[in-house]
Amino acid sequence: MVTCDEPRTIIVPQRRYAPDNPRLPRETPILGLGCSSFSSFFSSNGDDEMTVDTISIDHPAVRGWVETIRHAVLKRGINLLDTAPWYGHGTSEITVGYALDNILKEDIHEQQIISSGQNASTIPTIQKRKRNGDLPRDRLIINTKVGRYESQPILQFDFSYDTTMMSVQRSIERMNCSYIDVIQLHDPEFAPNLSILKEETIPALLECRRRGWTKAIGLTGYPLEMQHQILVECQGSLFADAVVFDQALVYCHNNLHDMSLYRDRCFPSVDENGSGDDNISFAQFCQKSNIHLMAAAPLSMGLFTLRGPPSWHPASTTLKEACSTSVNLCESKGVNASSLALLFALSQLEVGCTLLGMKNVEEVDAAADLAMRFCDVNFDAAMKSGDSDRQLRYETILDKILTETEREVLSLLLDEDHGPFSAVISNGEYKWNWKNEVTRFWSLAQESEQTR
């Protein structure tokens, strides 16, 4: 574990992540940089028309994004970047590439390692642009995704073998980074069926890992039950006993209104003999299966902000109102709601790294300063306390890192009988109906195709 000693006071704490899996990082920062902000998804700076064809390093917004990434990595030690072809439909990956050109150093040894692997002749053309930085490639963790791409509904998802292979090569070239640390299967709940994932997407991901284009394979999507189904059905004998997935990235299930990652015990617990006993949570399932967890969207995609969520947010009106009430309660007590939500998410130690979108240097510094409160937390010792003491474990951590006022407000928010989330917890609206979202999307895609 890296400690926050005096010479490194600006560096966010890191923690042990996957020492037992050489494909994954041994340690990660507790706070990672979600790169969806480096696109037009959440921006109002006049870059809403920016595309992969028009993006330029000279654009003021892009220059700001590049500086944000450089500052996060070099000044605050946030050395995990998570992007996707879907973010800005390519502009996020291109922006990350611009930043990496000035962060990473040229590394001939790295090229030799990549080119000496299996099927070296199939490694894509890389390092077309000169690197001007000083950081070795292995000091940076770069994750991206496959499966979700274009804005038009009919072109948005493609889980085919050829497109998956092409996407990984394109990501490597866009980001000028030689290889990806973790390639994630993006939003598999929108796949037309599980068969295409088994027959095309996952074999392509395994081939990418075999070729050295990626070190590890992960998946990410909203429904935990879909992730569980894929992890169970697509590991082991189906792929000649190959271990397929190393990591699971969840989002919007590790926050103040939705702790189903830990609380919903609806997944069968299967021991080494193949028999099950009591149901367990998704976090427990991942731990038992040697799947390492990350979590994104600690602010629940804008629900825990003063400006509120974007218009497309899938939460019900009831949940949006409950979150708005919680934000107003925080502000009335002199507590920043977004800060409290982030601190609460960071305190959940089953998650190795929490990803947060930070669109400028000021937001990076604000989040990094909050993460610095965990400098004195002994993550390893806390995790050894055992799952039966989970509630006590994270409450003990929160007692260390929260002010007295923040603790009082958090207690009000988490009151399941009288707090702002009591109604949504009792009626099940603490999360949204992903099946309705999928049905609505494909209906829209069919309508769009019929009008072409």
What mean pLDDT is predicted for residues 286-309? 95
Lowest model confidence (mean pLDDT) among 81-90, 108-117, 166-175, 338-347: 108-117
The whole-angstrom distance between residue 320's C-alpha and the CA centroid of its chain comes to 22
**Rounded to the nearest 5 degrees, what angle is found at the Cα of 152, between the Cα atoms of 148 and 153?**
70
| Cα(115)–Cα(123) distance, integer angstroms | 7
Task: For residue 74, give the nearest of 119, 162, 8, 2 by alpha carbon.
Answer: 8
Phi, psi of 14 (to 5 degrees): -115, 165
Contact 216, 23 (CB under 8 A): yes
How many C-beta atoms lie closer than 10 Å to residue 343's C-beta? 21
Please tell me which of 32-46, 115-129, 422-436 the model is most confident about, judged by mean pLDDT: 422-436
Contact 371, 346 (CB under 8 A): yes
Lowest model confidence (mean pLDDT) among 126-135, 384-393, 413-422, 436-445: 384-393
% of the chain exceeding 90 in pLDDT: 74
| Cα(58)–Cα(63) distance, integer angstroms | 6
**Predicted confidence (pLDDT) per residue in 128-165, tens digit:** 678 889 999 999 999 999 999 998 898 999 999 999 99
Task: For residue 302, give the nearest of 93, 80, 36 by alpha carbon.
Answer: 36
pLDDT at 6 over 90: no
| Cα(227)–Cα(30) distance, integer angstroms | 23
More confident residue, 418 or 272: 418
The pLDDT-based confidence of 7 (bands split at 50, 70, 90) is: very low
The pLDDT-based confidence of 109 (bands split at 50, 70, 90) is: low
**Per-residue pLDDT, 39:** 84
What mean pLDDT is predicted for residues 384-408? 81
**Predicted confidence (pLDDT) per residue in 166-211, tens digit:** 999 999 999 999 899 999 999 999 999 999 999 999 999 999 999 9
Contact 157, 189 (CB under 8 A): no
Task: Give CA separation, 81 vs 73, 97, 325, 398, in Å.
Answer: 9, 11, 32, 26
Phi, psi of 219 (to 5 degrees): -145, 155
Cα atoms in the Cβ-side hemisphere of radius 13 Å centred on 26? 6
| Cα(164)–Cα(167) distance, integer angstroms | 5
Domains and CATH numbers, the chain: 6-450 (3.20.20.100)
The whole-angstrom distance between residue 321's C-alpha and the CA centroid of its chain comes to 26
Full-model pTM: 0.91
**Rounded to the nearest 5 degrees, what angle is found at the Cα of 255, between the Cα atoms of 247 and 357?**
70
pLDDT at 122 over 60: no
**Per-residue pLDDT, 5:** 46
The pLDDT-based confidence of 120 (bands split at 50, 70, 90) is: very low
| Cα(31)–Cα(353) distance, integer angstroms | 6
Three-state secondary structure string covering 388-451 = HHHHHHHHHHHHHHCCHHHHHHHHHHCCCCCCCCHHHHHHCCCCCCHHHHHHHHHHHHHHHHHC
The pLDDT-based confidence of 385 (bands split at 50, 70, 90) is: low
**Per-residue pLDDT, 268:** 87
| Cα(232)–Cα(227) distance, integer angstroms | 9
**Predicted confidence (pLDDT) per residue in 237-281, tens digit:** 566 667 899 999 999 999 999 999 999 999 987 655 555 568 999
How, if at all, do strands 80-82 and 31-34 pair? parallel
